[in-house]
Structure 1
Amino acid sequence: MSKRSPKSVEEKLEAVLSHLEKGQSLSQLSRRFDVAISTLERWIRRYQSDGEDGLVESRTWKKYTSELKQAAVEDYLSGQRGLNTICQKYGISSKSVLVRWIKEYTSGKEIKATSKGLSRMKQGRKTSFEERVEIVNFTIAHEKDYQAAMEKYGVSYQQVYSWVKKFEKQGSQGLVDRRGKGLESKPNLTTEEELQLKIKQLEERNRYLEAEVGLLKKLEEIKRRNQR
């Protein structure tokens, strides 16, 4: 099963500047760099917000105050700006993070600060190979929303980050826990099993997109009512 290789800061910068300074379209750059358009949009937002430093992928849980989260959600619901613009304005890591906040807000849940320090982060836990595969599939399908995966599966941010990086470099074999074991313990996935793994990832991505589209339709209706 083919994998998209992780991109260096230099490659990300080249892609961003090709769009901002040379006017190349996102669809062209998506094919050229073999990344999703949503990934390119995320790089551009981070570059415009933090410069080249924003293209260095963080290994830590990004902290957001409850005030920032509420301001971003209300700004979007006002109908004046789109998801990409809001993410850039408030320094939000991805659209999926903002959509999650909006979903919580519109369902009546209290918006709380994401974190008050690294000491508050979840501790890692022991997981099976099958769990790690499922967690990685979920994370990639949700635009690498490490925080959402951490909260959904009860693992640490660092675990999710590490598994995704290993999967991108080595495929499913990178998710094998070899501590205290020999190479013979490495599971041998068949071509059919690898294909099923890819299908599950695509199915998860489709579920995410369908949920996002449904939420955005609901939010458009809310914005129209607010503007009357």
Structure 2
Amino acid sequence: MGRKNRFTQAQKIKACEEYLTGLKSASQIGIELGISKDSNVCGIEVLHWIKMYSVNGSDAFKERVHNATYSKEFKKQVVLEYLSGNYSIWDLKSKYNISGKSTIQGWIKKYNNHIEIKDYDPKPEVYMADTLKTTYEKRIEIVKYCLINDRDIKGTAAKYGCKYAQLYQWLRKYEINGEEALVDKRGKRKPEDELTNLEKAQRKIAQLEREKEEYRKKYELLKKAEERERW
């Protein structure tokens, strides 16, 4: 589902018309709308709307029902236009009606770091799919496929026809309690006192591996957050 806009299409069009007809300044419009208490921030945001309006008309402010889909070819084109020095990020955002400058910044960063820029398909159908009835073996297959493919929940859900939330729950159960968590009856595990020494050792190893993977993911998230702050 697309992001909820803070201002309506009508508000943005009115703001652009007020500026273009000379009734008000960009900063004045922004302050009246409550964009920010900083007049400079208000002015920049409103001027960005005006640039989008001049390029795409009222269509620039249509609220998207779903997130936009961008092919890797399109992303590369935008990045190369930016690197040519002929366009700023704001220019490209307006030219192609891209929702946020951070989106373009992310593409540029990946390109500069030689990270593959992939196609993006929001796959909204995975959020509305019916709950999939599966066997224990099939659930394990689906979860392992998802993990092998960089924890791509949306892609895996679309491939197997299951619901996003359903697959997310399977993943969480698997990551916390292993394969046994995916059996029927809500993944009830065999009591500790009924385990053999080998089974206890296997369970402990699996738990340590999951904890290690969880720490790795948290560390990567922290690194990404720090990198975003520097941007």
Larger Rg: 2
| Larger relative contact order, structure 1 or 2 (CA cutoff 8 Å, min sep 6) | 1
- TM-score calculated relative to the size of structure 2: 0.46
- TM-score calculated relative to the size of structure 1: 0.46
